[in-house]
């Protein structure tokens, strides 16, 4: 309980600090660079979440513990949610700086394919009635999809050069000033805390729903 109250206060402080404490980065029109404090942590959480989902899928396929499948599903769902948030905030930034919401920048192309992959993942889960078969298929698909990611990284940048700001706004770059870095890391921490909270909640819901599942299923009918 205390964890959730602290997280709420922390999140509020970060939002206020993002607008009042830091100065807008130079080289961007107006105040647009402030989206850094929201867009980048969302994208990081989404990436981490998809990675977690893939690892949990591998664990499920190896050991067949239902808990790991709950983790894989919950992480995929949250990753999808944060990915949509990152797409929307990125799109708003694109409109403000590049002039259009969507222009098939390599980053936008790869994020839309990522969303399509996980959309298909959920479609597969709802398309297979047998609970255990569903879990195995979802795990297999998740690993297959992960295998195509390197191709996106190599293929997509070949089409056009990206307009995505890398150097000026990358935290690893010394160009970021101390105030910005503090708030950015604080925001990353807040988003990660929010992610852990939501993940645990979702896993608990999935475990309770799992209790309703029949223990033994007649496996023939759904093949017809």
Partner 1 sequence: MFAVSTLIAVSFCIGSYRIEEAERPFLYSVLLWIILTFSALSGLARSFVKEEEAGTIDVLKLSARPQAIFLGKLLFNLTLLGALELIIVPSFILLMAYQINFPGLFIAMIISGGLGLAAGTTIIAAMIARASARGALFSALSFPLLLPLMITAIKGCERAAVGIDTAGWPEVKIAVAYFVIMITMSLFLFPLVWEE
Is 124 a binder of partner 1 (CB under 8 A)? yes
The 8-class DSSP code of residue 35 comes to G
Residue 60-99 contact track with partner 1, rule CB under 8 A, x = bound: -x--------------------------------------
Residue placing its CB nearer to partner 1 in the complex, 154 or 215: 154
Q: Which of 111, 69, 88, 7 is nearest to 203 (CA)?
A: 69
Residue 25-64 contact track with partner 1, rule CB under 8 A, x = bound: ------------------------------------x---
Residue placing its CB nearer to partner 1 in the complex, 131 or 210: 131
CB neighbours (10 Å) of residue 65?
Answer: 12
Residue placing its CB nearer to partner 1 in the complex, 132 or 171: 132
> Using CB under 8 A, which residues numbered 131 to 160 contact partner 1?
132-133, 136-137, 139-141, 143-145, 147-148, 151-152, 154-156, 158-159
Euclidean distance between CA atoms 206 and 165, whole angstroms: 39
Euclidean distance between CA atoms 152 and 47, whole angstroms: 14
Q: Which pair of structure tokens corresponds to residue 73?
A: 């599903």
Q: At what angle do helices 178-210 and 2-20 cross, to 10 degrees?
A: 140
Q: At what angle do helices 106-127 and 131-155 cross, to 10 degrees?
A: 170
The single residue listed with the structure tokens 């929010």 is 194
Give me the residues that bind partner 1 (CB under 8 A), please. Answer: 61, 113, 116-117, 119-120, 123-124, 127-130, 132-133, 136-137, 139-141, 143-145, 147-148, 151-152, 154-156, 158-159, 222-223
């Amino acid at each position: 309980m205390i964890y959730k109250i602290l997280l709420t206060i922390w999140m509020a402080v970060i939002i206020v600090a993002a607008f009042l404490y830091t100065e807008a980065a130079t080289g961007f029109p107006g105040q647009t660079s402030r989206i850094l404090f929201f867009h980048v942590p969302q994208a990081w959480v989404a990436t981490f979440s998809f990675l977690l989902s893939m690892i949990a899928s591998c664990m499920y396929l190896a050991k067949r513990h239902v808990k790991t499948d709950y983790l894989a599903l919950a992480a995929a769902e949250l990753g999808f949610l944060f990915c949509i948030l990152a797409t929307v905030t990125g799109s708003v930034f694109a409109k403000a700086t590049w002039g259009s919401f969507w222009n098939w920048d390599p980053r936008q192309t790869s994020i839309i394919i990522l969303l399509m992959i996980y959309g298909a993942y959920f479609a597969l889960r709802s398309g297979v009635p047998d609970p255990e078969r569903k879990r195995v298929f979802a795990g297999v698909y998740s690993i297959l999809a992960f295998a195509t990611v390197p191709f996106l990284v190599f293929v997509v940048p070949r089409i056009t050069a990206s307009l995505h700001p890398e150097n000026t706004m990358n935290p690893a770059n010394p160009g970021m000033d101390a105030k910005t870095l503090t708030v950015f890391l604080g925001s990353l921490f807040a988003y990660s805390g929010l992610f852990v909270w939501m993940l645990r909640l979702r896993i608990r819901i999935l475990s309770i729903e799992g209790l309703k599942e029949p223990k033994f299923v007649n496996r023939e009918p759904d093949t017809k």
